Amino acid sequence: MNRLQKPLNASLRLVRSLFTQLHYAPLSCRLLASGRFCRTSVTSGAQQRFMRPLCTDRPTSSFSIQDYEDFKERVLNSDRPVAVQFHADWCGPCKLLGPRLESIVDNTEGDVLLARLNVDDCADLAMEYGVQSIPTVLGFRDGEIVEKIVGVVDDETIRNFVDKLSSDE
């Protein structure tokens, strides 16, 4: 193979790879959007233990806060109690607490909402509410803080937090 054929072969492989990705991507996107992969899976039992479903039938009660106006509208003016998790993408303890908190909040069937606030994106809000370490979860009812969790805690503490938040004390 001479010097001219090597770059040509490399560029042909690149074009072939791009064509394959562009050709098959829309099909996979359509299948995901249609929900066909939600119900069934062609995997072994060992693989299924480590996999999560692509989508669920249950609506989630969680959302992400983008800025102060979003926080004001969705948390302070909410007619339902809101648990606000102050977190960061790089924070290991936040990654441990987040799914457990979301699961417990989802079990309230919409009585309590969960807002996720990235402190790297909304540092002004973190400072305003005195968040000095993450993860921190503040419970808001009628625009006021009624409960607070700092750090990774056990499921029972999270349940008590959510119960206190949803009660009309």
DSSP strand pairing (113-118 vs 82-87): parallel
Report d(CA 96, CA 82) in Å as an integer: 20
Distances in Å between the Cα of 23 and the Cα atoms of 121, 125, 145, 154 are 36, 44, 51, 47
State the residue for tokens 């060992």: 46
List 29, 38, 55, 91, catalytic entry: 91
Radius of gyration of the chain from its Cα atoms, rounded to whole angstroms: 22
Determine whether 91 is an active site residue: yes
94 as an active site residue: the answer is yes
Out of 29, 55, 94, 122, the active site residue is: 94
163 vs 76: CA distance, rounded Å? 19
Residues with catalytic roles: 91, 94
